[in-house]
Amino acid sequence: MTETRIPAGSAIFPRLKALGVDYVFCNSGTDFPPIIEGLATAKARGEALPEAVVIPHESAALGMAHGYTLMTGRAQAVMMHTNVGLANGAMGAINAAAEQIPVILMSGRTPTLEAGRLGARTVPIGWGQEMRDQHALVREATKWDYELRFPEQITELLDRAHAIASSTPKGPVYLSLPREVLCEEIVFDDLTAEPSIAPATGAADQASIEKLAAMLATAKSPLIIAQRGVGDADGFAAFARWAEEWGIAVSSWWVNQLAIATDHPCHVGPNPGPWMAEADVVLAIDCLAPWMPEAHALKQDAKVVHLGPDPLYARFPVRNFPSHLSLAGDTGATLTALFKAMQLHARDEGMIAERRKRIAQANQSWRDDVSRVSTPVTGQTLTKPQLSRALSDALKGRKSTVFCELGAVLGPMERSEAHSWFDTPHSGGLGWSFPAAMGAQLADPDRLCVAVMGDGSYMFANPTVCHQIAEAMQLPILIVIANNSEWDAVRRSVTSIYPEGHAAKSNQMPLVELKPSPDFCKTAEASRAFARRVEKPEELSDAIEAALKAIETEGRCAVLDVKIR
């Protein structure tokens, strides 16, 4: 019987499909011929394949994979062009690593041979793109990296890459693909077989769970600080019930993913300081930086517990928050076990009722303060809280997710459901929210996805690229640009460190202005998007409704360029 042989590149897409990858976000280059030929061959054979989509810039590809995984929990793949494409994607890899997002990164490697083998160098960039250590571009941001050395390794290495990316704690992995190796033939095998390696899901040990349960059950003033959510939608609902049942204050300090509804009676807002001052037990749920050491002080003898996939965040060289008890494991599974363990403890109902009342009053007081600062004043330029409240009001009753990147404020922006709010990765790689919102829209077409971003972030997002993708893939998201014509985060950083300095007192602070501001509407209109500039507070509500109408009735992407102060 004659063996069927295929190029190693032909095995990649069918194998990724078997691993559960839905999309491969690609920016192709001269290293892609065996991959493109393999893709066409697999399609001709009628094989099940993940969707290969053309993404004209790698930062957008990483952002879309990031957003898709936030909504689904499943690792996706990104293919880039040799070292230059990998360099463009490095910022997205850093964001994914900081937020523990599993993604399979792949890029070609310029051919090693100058002649004599199929796939050898054929154009000058074959010499110009060679590096001694291409992997170094993303090594610090990946859990695992390797170079394909022999064609017959391709399926087993993809299996390994996917398993490591999807293991606790999750994160990106990288595989480089030399062109000559991809051109070599292998014996065609069953590419749809079950994965040969299963991901490892970490779980906290039962003794630590029981110890934490006892600490919380007997605490007089427990405090929870949660930054990266509390699991899936069921976990979100269970956490809300549990927090109220036990009367535990929950703070959303620099939250990336919503852990509790903003109007939940146990949510005390973004400032943990007053609650830390009296807390005897502080539980930090998946927090990279649960508080600001210079601004927030723990009560003497307070016990601190960190819980999450990597509670000590070993990737980061300096992170010295105390942790008297550390629980490593999947956040949702660990919390479910904690809820069960606490059921075995008696409750001081009187103390809990009094605590619950006090926390609910604090929540209402915080929301009243938020309401005051988010009410627009006719004749005055809008603020971020006012923009956030207007957008929040428009989103009520709509299934929606907001991707915030220095453009909105949680609180004035009311959010009450799991997966309804994602904030900027703590790694700070800008331009994230626009493509992340598109990735989320791809994962859930019935959801309204919104990117609220500063004007600098919008420019970082390669907006011409992102608008082209949105039109080509029919991803009608809403982009709201909070436009103050400056790097506001830089200004605030300067004034916080040097409040009485010359820069803070100057009429024009150096290195922060983004003037003259481009006409962002024209950028959006170049790809047939709805676009409108908003200058006055009284124009905002109508502009939002017009943008939503364009999205919902015409299927168009919409941009609002909103002037703020």
pLDDT in tens, 119-154: 999 999 989 999 999 999 999 999 999 999 999 999
| pLDDT at residue 2, rounded to an integer | 60
Binned average pLDDT, 10 residues per bin, the chain of 565 residues? 80 95 94 87 87 97 98 97 96 98 96 91 91 96 97 96 98 96 89 95 95 98 97 96 98 96 96 97 98 95 98 96 98 97 96 96 94 89 96 97 97 96 96 98 98 97 98 98 92 90 88 93 98 96 98 98 96
Task: Decide: 498 and 533 in contact? Cβ < 8 Å.
Answer: no
Listed residue (200, 107, 133, 187) closest to 160, CA to CA = 200
Q: Report how far residue 236's alpha carbon sits from residue 240's, in angstroms, rounded to the nearest whole number.
A: 6
The pLDDT assigned to 321 comes to: 98
What span, in angstroms and rounded, lies between the C-alpha atoms of 249 and 362? Answer: 10
CA distances from 38 to 14, 26, 29, 235, 244 (A): 10, 14, 15, 42, 55
Q: What is the pLDDT of residue 46?
A: 86
Strands (E), 40-169: 51-54, 76-80, 103-109, 145-147
Q: Which residue has the tokens 């809280």?
A: 385
Of 229, 284, 290, residue with least CA distance to 417: 229
Q: How far apart are CA 88 and CA 195, in angstroms?
A: 30
Instruction: Please say whether the beta carbons of 266 and 360 come within 8 A.
Output: yes
Half-sphere exposure of 105 (CA within 13 A, CB side): 40
The length of the chain is 565
- pLDDT at position 37, please? 87
Q: Residue 156's pLDDT is what?
A: 96
Ordered by where they begin, the domains of the chain are 5-187 (3.40.50.970), 206-367 (3.40.50.1220), 374-563 (3.40.50.970)
CA–CA separation, 463 vs 526, rounded Å?
11
Tokens describing residue 323: 């942790």
The structure tokens listed for 104 are 């399979």
For residue 240, the one-letter residue type is A
**Strands 325-328 and 303-308, sheet pairing:** parallel
Report which DSSP code applies to 106: E
Beta bridge partners of 357: none
Rg (CA), the chain: 25
Spacing of C-alpha 546 from chain mean position = 28
pTM confidence score: 0.96
